[in-house]
Amino acid sequence: MTSQPLGPADYSKTPRYAGPPTFGLLPRIDEVEAERPGEKIDVKVIGIPFDAGVSYRPGARFGPAHIRQSSKLLRPYNQATNVHPFSWQQVADCGDLGVNPFDIEEAITTVEANADALRADGAKLLTLGGDHTLALPNLRSLHKTHGKIAVLHFDAHLDTWDTYFGAPYTHGTPFRRASEEGLIDMTSSMHIGIRGPLYGQKDLEDDEVLGFQIIRSDEYQFTSVADVVARMRKRLGDAPVYISVDIDVLDPAAAPGTGTPEAGGMTSRELLNSIRGLQGLNVVGGEIVEVAPAYDHAEVTGLAAAHVGYEILSLWAAENNGITAPSGPSGSALGI
């Protein structure tokens, strides 16, 4: 008989600030395996403290620990979507993956191999970065299982540039490499939250050829979250979706702790409701990257990133419970 999922630490016995250093105070994978031997782990959370691919301010290698620290106040009921992300599925924190900080290509190979291993039992993977270079090995892994992936990319930047100083693998190139390798669904992929100066018009022209549509940050102001969500759902359809969230998609007021901040970004409320609007779609993986705690204060960026992770977990919990469309107050407000 299947036992109940092993959930977060008991808040009535352990104060959150004294709880385990795991995402949302959730159990470690070894604890789950010991208490629920032979039973499925639905979602695995993995930290990848890697930032050798950054082009401006370093420090995202400390992102996983910061996101986990900031996640301690998360609670087990998502009132916005009427979902229980920790009891409707088994979630386990797998700790951090150590990768070579001096050899980007070796690090990419290591991440891909470990993603393959972690997903081999059918578990979904939530990655805490780390810089955006990590998207490429994660997509390589997912492609082996799902074929072409619809990338839903929340970011201030396109990340489809060719090279930096001749280097083909950086945090600004993962989606160009993924498109060139045939990993992405070029009829379903999108960038959300793009803004700021570019090198030239050709950046946008190249990006379109690589298979992406763009919803700019300003469009949240000019239209509405509901309109953006409707456009996302139409574009994504029933394709397998990978949610890639660069925390710099948020305005620096909401996420100062990142390496390449751009003014004019989204609010955390807009980002969270955009993710809630994906409920019912075929989301096969997710990541939160580019959290650099050295530039954060009062855990502002870490809190935003933790809540992004919580909403992605809520999508999977809803799927696990047979919910096929946006639900709860957020679903009603979105009108879907």
Helical spans, DSSP H, in 171-322:
174-180, 201-209, 219-222, 225-236, 268-276, 300-320
Give the Cα separation of 54 and 59 in Å (integer). 9
Give the Cα separation of 336 and 329 in Å (integer). 11
Q: Is 132 annotated as a binding residue?
A: yes
Report the Cα–Cα distance between both ends of the chain, in Å, rounded. Answer: 36
Q: Is 248 annotated as a binding residue?
A: yes
Q: Is 227 annotated as a binding residue?
A: no
Give the Cα separation of 162 and 173 in Å (integer). 6
| Residue partners of 53: CB distance under 8 A and separation at least 6 | 104, 131, 132, 133, 169, 170, 171
Q: Is 155 annotated as a binding residue?
A: yes
Give the Cα separation of 230 and 175 in Å (integer). 24
| Residues pairing with 190 in the sheet | 152, 213
Residues 264 and 217: beta-carbon distance below 8 Å? yes
Binding residues: 132, 155, 157, 159, 246, 248
Binding residues for Mn(2+): 132, 155, 157, 159, 246, 248
